[in-house]
Amino acid sequence: YYMHPLHMFAVLGIVPLSRMDKKHLYPAILAVVAVIFTIGRANTNLKEDDSWIYKFEPWIAKKDQPTLLLYHCMEDEFYTAYNIVPEEKYYTLLNLPVPEMEEEQDRYVAEKRSDFIITAKDMSIDGYEQVAMTTDNEELNYYLYSRIQ
């Protein structure tokens, strides 16, 4: 996603191609093809019909306005796939984990603030029951826990 704002400048890179000598033309064409390839790859993993990320849909869809916490794991587009807006500050782990982040997530779980929890580890969570498991394209397992009423 970080590259998307730069794609608008790709058009400006095509204009000087007509003025280039043959020595620099080949690398320029490769650069244009690379930009087109990255634009075409945006969000290709979010297709409902065959994506592993939608395997939790039958459970999450049962709840009206569900809340979700990605507990001690990084976000892998679950919020986008299920159209959920995070309610907590530390709704997922970030690239630079700090102790406060994990402490806050532990507090969210202890207070049972989320309807559903997704983890990358099979674990026991007080007040929640494991209802499903799926494996992503890189063989990483994700587990869905539902809050016990």
- CB-CB contact of 131 with 146 (8 Å): yes
Q: Check residues 85 and 51 and name the one with the higher pLDDT.
A: 85
How confident is the model over 24-70, as pLDDT tens digits? 777 777 777 777 777 665 555 555 555 788 889 889 989 899 999 99
Nearest Cα to Cα of residue 144 among 70, 65, 61: 70
> Is this prediction's pTM over 0.85?
no
Please say whether the dihedral angle defined by the alpha carbons of residues 47, 52, 55 and 57, taken in this order, is positive or negative: negative
Annotate 17-38 with DSSP letters as a single string: GGG--HHHHHHHHHHHHHHHHH
Number of other CB atoms surrounding residue 149 within 10 Å = 5
Task: Tell me what pLDDT residue 82 has.
Answer: 86
Task: Work out the percent of the chain whose per-residue pLDDT is above 90.
Answer: 32
Task: Tell me what pLDDT residue 149 has.
Answer: 79
Mean pLDDT, all residues of the chain: 81
Task: Tell me what pLDDT residue 114 has.
Answer: 93
